[in-house]
Amino acid sequence: MSTLSADVSQNGTIKNVDSSSSVFELEEYDFSKLPDRPKNLNIDRQRSFDERSLTELPMGHSPCPPSRADNYYGALDHFDGFFSPSKRSLLNTPRSLFGYEPHPMIAEAWETLRRSLVYFRGQPVGTIAALDSSEEKLNYDQVFVRDFVPSALAFLMNGEPEIVKNFILKTLRLQSWEKKIDRFQLGEGVMPASFKVLHDPVRNTETLMADFGESAIGRVAPVDSGFWWIILLRAYTRSTGDSSLAEMPECQKGMRLILSLCLSEGYDTFPTLLCADGCCMIDRRMGVYGYPIEIQALFFMALRCALVLLKQDAEGKEFMERIDKRLHALSYHMRSYFWIDMKQLNDIYRYKTEEYSHTAVNKFNIMPDSLPEWIFDFMPTLGGYFVGNVGPSNMDFRWFCLGNCIAILSSLATPEQATAIMDLIESRWQELVGDMPLKVCYPAIEGHEWQIITGCDPKNIRWSYHNGGSWPVLLWLLTAACIKIGRPQLARRAIELAETRLSKDGWPEYYDGKLGRFIGKQARRNQTWSIAGYLVAKMMLEDPSHLGMVALEEDKHLKPVLRRSSSWTN
């Protein structure tokens, strides 16, 4: 006979749980019929997640209908083993699984996250970037698309999908606005960087105001927003099992508009996306123009998500074919030319230059002298990463966190590459994690290089902000990547570091210094994505099945062909 008991979840809500079920029964069970969480979780408690490979975890059942894409990409989109069912997480409280109390920071984080909610005509539609009244607001009083992603994941993981749905629909409406900078009109598909609710107390009305780059510092359109929007739509669909949102004609159109922007034919000789500086999380001049890894990884992930979400009607099919071709070219290009490890480094070190024709080994004419000094020490014997940028005679060797984590999550990185990225993070822990996770990029640029590359930006001085600063929000990405390749203990280490300071320091936006020991010079406090990033990391570690929302399995058809070194061809 099943008994019902009350349990307190992380955010303090009380729910009933059925004590009769076991994980093994759940494997066969329709999750939609389940009570919130079984009490007698019949899993091996002696071994921690650290020791167990994730593939050993119980396979969940996907409430999503079988993929509508009948090509192989769609078929591969079955992270069911990591699938997080709708409603509340099954393995929600750490206490129940591992016998320890939830960290006190969790309740505080939820409380602040809820305070950051932004309402439009009575409905929550997003979260404000920072709840900090002490600093000048600038645009931190807005809902940023990229910033909302960790908030959205936190709400989805907590069984609160409504706000995510509202956000998706609201931003979709904004997409259809006419966007202009001076006399120039932006592409139809551009999604806003951020938006704000304006209250008119006299007329008692509310209106939305959006920024597509026309108000942003530097006037750059956020290329990442559209990709995050598609990625979030898939996360919502995965988490709730409700495909009706993605199937709405408006959502299908919104997706196609975003895709039209990045799949259009032009003068490109590479499948990567050519971008302006500051078009992503790093939204100031930081020398990321060209083909930044962050955008390429998000592009790849959004394409794969779109393949699952697009309907198989005439228009959808046409896009699927284009996506299919692009994914092949993009994965080949990225895995071959953006990848660096000891061997590749050695090859570049010995590159010949000025090679002409298709037989060239050094295709982009990279000058070995452009190899920075630091990379020879930084590159571990075991390990590797995707470099920051690759273009004509240009290789930005800096390590960027977001792009590398998304490369793992989207399976843009092959399993070997994903493992190598983790090996590198592990062996360069001090440099990349230090005292506060996690470096947005490594290393910082200084002196003359800083002058030239940032245009003397005082906010981006060495080891600060985007220039080698440490961003707590990145914790969720690290955690997801760690779980995906079976090293949750690394994520746990990083989370424990963050727990020593984050709340005491008032949830700053970023930290400064080589080791991230100082609260960022101009960092906002109560930065929402620092808070949400922490919560998502915690929830994912407690219940790795949440990973399914943000990860895609390897696509076996996208095999890497690494052919760059002369020694290879000899």
The residue within the footprint of ligand GLC, chosen from 77, 132, 283, 457 (CB under 6 A), is 283
Helix/strand/coil for 172: helix
Q: Interacting stretch for ligand GLC, rule CB under 6 A, among 47-55, 113-121, 144-152, 226-234?
A: 144-152
Beta bridge partners of 405: none
CB closer to ligand GLC, 130 vs 306? 130
CB closer to ligand GLC, 389 vs 527? 527
CB closer to ligand GLC, 62 vs 116? 116
Distances (CA, A) of 311 to 232, 248, 296, 319: 17, 10, 24, 10
Q: Interacting stretch for ligand GLC, rule CB under 6 A, among 74-82, 140-148, 400-408, 454-462?
A: 140-148
CB closer to ligand GLC, 427 vs 522? 522
CB closer to ligand GLC, 388 vs 544? 388
Q: What is the largest CA-CA distance in the chain?
A: 77
- What is the total count of residues that contact ligand GLC (CB under 6 A)? 6
Name, in order, each residue with C-beta under 8 angstroms of 432's C-beta and a sequence gap of 6 or more.
399, 401, 425, 438, 439, 442
Binding to ligand GLC in span 262-281, by CB under 6 A: 281
| 476 touches ligand GLC by CB under 6 A | no
**Judging by DSSP bridges, how do beta strands 205-211 and 194-200 pair with one another?**
antiparallel
Q: Interacting stretch for ligand GLC, rule CB under 6 A, among 142-150, 243-251, 327-335, 479-487?
A: 142-150
CB closer to ligand GLC, 129 vs 483? 129
Distances (CA, A) of 439 to 153, 364, 461, 508, 551: 22, 28, 14, 14, 22
Spatial distance between the Cα atoms of 518 and 504, rounded to a whole number of angstroms: 13
Contact predicate 516/470, CB 8 Å: yes
- The token pair at 488 is 């949750």
Contact predicate 438/494, CB 8 Å: yes
Contact predicate 28/8, CB 8 Å: no
CB of 266 to ligand GLC, least distance (A): 27
**To 5 degrees, how large is the angle CA 39–CA 79–CA 324?**
165
Q: For ligand GLC, what does the binding mask look like between residues 523 and 562, x meaning CB under 6 A?
A: ----------------------------------------
**To 5 degrees, how large is the angle CA 2–CA 4–CA 9?**
135
The residue within the footprint of ligand GLC, chosen from 147, 211, 396, 426 (CB under 6 A), is 147
Q: Interacting stretch for ligand GLC, rule CB under 6 A, among 113-121, 141-149, 164-172, 287-295?
A: 141-149
Q: Interacting stretch for ligand GLC, rule CB under 6 A, among 83-91, 143-151, 387-395, 499-507?
A: 143-151
| 473 touches ligand GLC by CB under 6 A | no
Instruction: Report the amino acid identity of residue 569.
Output: T
CB of 147 to ligand GLC, least distance (A): 5
CB of 65 to ligand GLC, least distance (A): 34
Spatial distance between the Cα atoms of 555 and 11, rounded to a whole number of angstroms: 36
CB closer to ligand GLC, 147 vs 426? 147
| 146 touches ligand GLC by CB under 6 A | yes
* Contact footprint for ligand GLC (CB under 6 A): 129, 144, 146-147, 281, 283
